[in-house]
Structures are given as C-alpha cells and as structure tokens.
Amino acid sequence: MGKLGGFLTENRKESILRSAEERVKDFQEFHPPLEDELAKTQASRCMECGIPFCHFSCPVSNVIPEFNDLVYLGKFKEALQILESTNNFPEFTGRVCPAPCEQGCVLNIHHAPVTIKEIELFIVEKGFKEGWITPQKCVTSKDKHIAVIGSGPAGLACAQELVRKGFDVTVYESSEVAGGLLRIGIPDYKLDKRIVDRRVDQLKAEGVKFILNTHVGKDIPFQEVYSKVDATVLCIGARVPREFLCIGHEVKGVYHAMEWLAQVNEKNRGVEGLKQRISVKNRDVLVIGGGDTGADCIGTSLREGAKSILQIIRKPNEKSQSEAFNEQWPFILKEFDLTTSHSESIHHFECDDIRSFETVCKEFISTETGALKQVKLKNISWEVEGEKRISREIEGSERILDIDVVFLALGFQNVDIEGLSGLHLDKVGNIVTQTAFETELEGVFVAGDARIGQSLVVSAISEGRKVAKEVEAFLSR
C-alpha cells in the first residue's frame, strides 16, 4: 500500500472543467486528464481493501487497487501495463463510463469514492503521450479467418484480441467510419472523435482490416460473409429504438434521440452534402427520458442554440441519500445525479432545474399542417401495492406547453436481424444463442448489446474480450 491512511488526509478532487458558460459555445472536450501530481494524490486515497469491491463492480474487472498504488508511487508505465491487461480502450471508458467501480468503492459508504475513472483516463493518456502505447503485431499466423460484423466497442475489442493472437480479422461496418455508437451516438464534447480515430489506426497497424459503408445482410448477403471465413462474430448492437405511443405520436417534430445526435455528429465531422433534417435553434425542446442519452440531448440542444429545454422523467427523484451512510452500497447506482449537461442548462437558463420528475406526456398537439406545436403533460404519483410499485395519474394536474421539438431518449428495445437469415430473437429481443456466445449457426457468435441488451461501453468491451476467447477455443478444437 502506497500511502497508509491517504483517504483520511486527502479529499476527492477532479480535473478542472471549463466553465459552463464557455463550454456550451463549442463541441470541444472540457474534462482534461489529471495532472501528474494530482493523479498521485488522488490515487493515494485508495484504501486497498482486503476485498476490492471496485474490482468486482467493474464489468472488465480492472485491477484497480494495484494500478492506484503504482500511480501513487509514480510508476505510470507499470500502471498502464496493469490497466491494459483487462481493458482494451481505457480512453473510452475513462471519458464516458458511469463508473460502477466508484459506486463499489468502500469509501463510497461514508465518504466520496476514489476518482477511479479519472485515474484510469490519466494512465492511458499518459501512455499515449509518452509513446508507451504502440501497435502489437503478432509475429505468427494461425491461418484462420474471422469476420467481425460491427465496429462498436464490442467489435473493436474482439478484433484486437483476435488479431493479437495471430488470426486474420476483417471488420464490417455499415457506416462510412468505424466506431459504432462511439462515433455516431456520443457527442463530441464527451468523446472527441480523434480519440476513436487514434485507436482504430492502432488496430489497422496491428493487422485488422476494415470494410466500411457495407451493411451485412443488405449490401452484402450474410451467408456470403460467414461461409467464407472460419468464424463470424456479430457485434451489431441493439439499435431498434423503444417506441413511445401516445395521442399524436406521428406528428412532425417528434424524433428518436439517436437520430438527431447522429446527425449533429455528422455535421461536426464535416460530412459533405449533409442536409439539416432536424434543427433546434431558437426552438422549445422537450426531452422524454432520464438516462445518459437524455442528458446528451440537453447538452447538444444548448450548443445548437435551443430557446428552452425541459426534460420529463417518469420516475421519482431518488437521488437523495444520507451523506453519513450509504445503506444501498454497493448495489444501486444514483440514477438522477446532475450531469454536466444539466449544470450547463441550469446556468444558461438561470433556473433551479430543467427536469420535471414524476411527469408523463399524454398527447402531442399539432398544427393544421401536422407540425408539433404543443404537448399535454400530466403528473403521476408512485404507490406500493403488495410487492410492486405502481404509478397513478394525478387528476387535475394536466398542463399544456408550447413545444417545437421532442426527443425520445427511451433506450433501445431489440436487435435488427433483417437479412441475417438463420438467426432469431429471444423474448427480450436479443439474438438467440445455443451456448454462452455461439448462435444457432455453427461458427457464428454474438457479443455486446446484441447478446445482452442495451448496456454500457465498458460492458461491450468486456463482451468483446470474452467472445474472442470463445472463438479462439472454437477454432482450436
């Protein structure tokens, strides 16, 4: 253990953010990695518990106490080696992960947890800066060919694990750029796409081949792909959005969140000939849904010049806990903490909050031409009946607001398997498997959201690593 009792003498500190007033003027990242000395100080807060709950809370099982200790001692390169042994892309998780490891930190019972996510980002960016992260080319070839369909975090992790074992790996991506939702769904201010390019370039240097702008099952037959290789891995995500059916849901001006976020990312990337299909400039915006995607809609709407923003969330605000003792540790995440996007909007609109909890949308009201002009909202209350919590609408709580644009940030409900003959979906919308990862088709595997449902970037990386081991075992039979 580096510093005995460091958690007693040092407070949690995060890297300095640009002010809310400044950062909403552009799409630049505003959360830089820690400086060396601050990283050491923050790492010294690690208690190095006998049972590392942070490790068990992390989907990729990062060896957190060990790399914290190494950072405190200034052994940054050794810390990177520990980190890379479990996580292919710490620069992604260090930016966009909700940090379940910090929820599991023992300090989180009584105090602020260790800044594990920030330390992780510090380590990997230090590695890139010092030139310690370089392509790892396998010197021997196994003469086995693998197709990975989808280039999101699961597909990239799977491809990297397999190419480093000597397999010939080709990644198919339906978009014109690699990265999946890392590229098209996450706003640039949270993840600069040059960070994605940097890692994709490394995979290319390691031998991974990318075939872009090719939708397997539509542009090219699925059978043609998997019949020519020794194994195929589907990392296609769960991209079918959850529908929201209420009166007037078909009016013009109601959009799925990802449809718009992807468009803004395309615009920022400078896609030629892009026609602005959805605009929020000088318009009143309603966001329905309380997760990360909803927060992304808020932050992006601010940067695109929205006139006003309201977010409605069906659930009650259960953020408040006793600061003296977290009786829910380490199992339950704080769902509705204020994100940076909420902080920006509160500052920009000079209000206490833009969120309305225990609120539902009952109707979209349109003009004579079919364009959205108003929404009808209603409050609900939550009650316990038996072992279930149920919601009841509060009579007389209806209100009508002028709204020009609605974004549905309600998540995704299932996988799109159109054109993927021989595959089926289970009752929750994931691809059916015969074993943990192998589908009904021999030699065809599935990982990521397509196997487990909508989840986190860190979970997708874990899935990619696990399925790579399954493929290697299959090809070694």
- Summarised one tens digit per residue, pLDDT across range 101-129 is 999 999 988 889 999 999 999 999 999 99
Q: What does the pLDDT read at residue 320?
A: 45
Q: What does the pLDDT read at residue 321?
A: 45
Residue 250: other Cβ atoms inside 10 A = 10
Q: Where in the chain is the domain with CATH 3.50.50.60?
A: 145-239+413-475, 243-410
For the chain, counts of helices (H) and of strands (E): 18, 16
**What's the burial of 469, exposed, middle or buried (CB within 10 Å: 0-12/13-18/19+)?**
middle
Give the E-state strand segments of 257-371 in sequence order.
284-288, 308-313, 355-357, 359-366
Amino acid letter, residue 292: D
Amino acid letter, residue 286: L
Q: What does the pLDDT read at residue 19?
A: 93
**What's the burial of 399, exposed, middle or buried (CB within 10 Å: 0-12/13-18/19+)?**
exposed
Give Cα separations from 361 to 128, 310, 371 (angstroms). 47, 12, 17
Tokens standing for 417? 């398997």
CB within 8 Å of 151: residues ≥ 6 apart: 159, 171, 172, 173, 175, 178, 179, 180, 200, 210, 235
Q: Where in the chain is the domain with CATH 1.10.1060.10?
A: 6-18+31-130
So what's the architecture of 243-410 in CATH? 3-Layer(bba) Sandwich (3.50)
Q: What does the pLDDT read at residue 322?
A: 42
Task: Please give the Cα distance from 438 to 434 (Å, whole number).
Answer: 6
Residue 472 C-alpha from the chain's centroid: 27
Q: What CATH number belongs to 145-239+413-475?
A: 3.50.50.60
305 contacts 280 by C-beta, under 8 angstroms: yes
370: left (phi over 0), alpha (psi -120 to 50) or beta: left
Strand partners, 284: 308
**Looking at the chain, how many residues does it have?**
477
Q: Which residues of the chain have pLDDT under 50?
A: 320-324
Q: What CATH number belongs to 6-18+31-130?
A: 1.10.1060.10
Tokens standing for 439? 């589908």
Strand partners, 210: 171
358: left (phi over 0), alpha (psi -120 to 50) or beta: left
